[in-house]
């Protein structure tokens, strides 16, 4: 079953969500509860930990319903350490995910900030050999790819040629004000690249990573224009993936619900289920 839009967070396990999104004494295996509300998730853990163990993949497969989509990140050892010069680990990574191939959204290739135009041949080698039945998305962070010049044109043509999606990282909310002593906001401003937002869809699955502020009003203002664009893509038969972050991710479930509800009215999307923690609170 394909949904008109997939909504998710940067992870499904966060201790800060116990007692709010999850019940206060939730079990350690949280994915099945998470998937009752959200239809996708960023698999950031694989960026750091590499190829997951067979037992881990089997556990994920047993907890995720058929409509759910994982958007794992290619390991940093492939993208950052080897800079796409040796691809054996990339193919081993995709092979390890075989039990989840029917539930994979775009696997994200997050490239280093200094991965520039001169290295596009390495990216093309990856995309040319990428399995056609598995969607892929590429996130670039080199400034040259945001100047609307020859480098960005070459990148976009490459992505279109191989039906790869360009990840749109929207950091405007988190950089809209000074941190003013807020630790989470300061950390997000240090961690995220301050790059312009270029809104374009190069393939069937547009991927938006919306990095929110601690102020909900600021997030709603910046998300306003996304509603029309997402509605347009859905009407064109595309399937967007929207991932919602907040500065420290403590409020990301609630922020995702707020933004989704604002979109659902215009795009005629089904309502989100209640959070698992809210369901339990009704029992007492």
- pLDDT per position as a tens digit, 171-183: 999 998 988 878 8
Average pLDDT, the chain: 93
pLDDT of the residue at 284: 45
Mean pLDDT of all residues in 13-34: 89
Q: Please provide residue 107's backbone torsions phi and psi, each rounded to the nearest 5 degrees.
A: -70, 130
Please check the confidence at residue 91 and state whether its pLDDT lies above 70: yes
Q: Is the pTM of this model over 0.85?
A: yes
pLDDT of the residue at 2: 81
Residue 47 Cα distances to 74, 134, 193, angstroms: 6, 18, 17
- pLDDT per position as a tens digit, 198-213: 999 999 999 999 999 8
- pLDDT per position as a tens digit, 250-282: 899 999 999 999 999 888 899 999 999 886 555
- pLDDT per position as a tens digit, 146-198: 999 999 999 999 999 999 999 999 999 999 898 887 888 888 888 899 999 99
For residue 5, give the nearest of 105, 91, 124, 155 by alpha carbon: 105
Q: How far apart are CA 284 and CA 281, in angstroms?
A: 6
């Amino acid at each position: 079953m394909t949904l008109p839009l997939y909504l998710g967070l940067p992870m499904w396990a966060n201790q800060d969500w116990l007692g709010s999104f999850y019940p206060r004494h939730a079990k350690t295996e949280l994915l099945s509860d998470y998937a009752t509300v959200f239809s996708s998730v960023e698999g950031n853990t694989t960026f750091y930990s590499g190829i997951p163990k067979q037992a881990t993949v089997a556990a994920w497969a047993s907890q995720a319903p058929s409509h759910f989509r994982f958007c794992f990140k290619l390991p940093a050892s492939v993208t950052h350490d080897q800079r796409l010069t040796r691809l054996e680990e990339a193919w081993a990574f995709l092979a390890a995910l075989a039990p989840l191939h029917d539930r994979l959204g775009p696997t994200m290739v997050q490239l280093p900030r200094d991965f520039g135009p001169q290295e596009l041949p390495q990216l093309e080698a990856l995309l040319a050999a990428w399995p056609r039945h598995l969607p892929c998305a590429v996130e670039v962070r080199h400034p040259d790819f945001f100047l609307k010049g020859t480098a960005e044109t070459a990148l976009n043509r490459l992505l279109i040629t191989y039906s790869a999606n360009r990840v749109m990282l929207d950091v405007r909310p988190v950089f809209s004000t000074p941190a003013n002593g807020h630790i989470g906001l300061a950390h997000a401003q240090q961690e995220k690249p301050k790059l312009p937002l270029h809104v374009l869809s190069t393939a069937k699955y547009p991927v938006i990573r919306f990095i929110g502020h601690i102020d909900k009003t600021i997030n709603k203002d910046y998300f306003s224009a996304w509603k029309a664009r997402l509605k347009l893509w859905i009407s064109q038969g595309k399937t967007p993936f929207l991932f919602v972050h907040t500065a420290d991710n403590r409020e990301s479930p609630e922020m995702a619900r707020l933004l989704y509800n604002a979109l659902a009215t215009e795009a005629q999307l089904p309502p989100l289920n209640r959070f698992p923690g809210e369901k339990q609170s009704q029992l007492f």
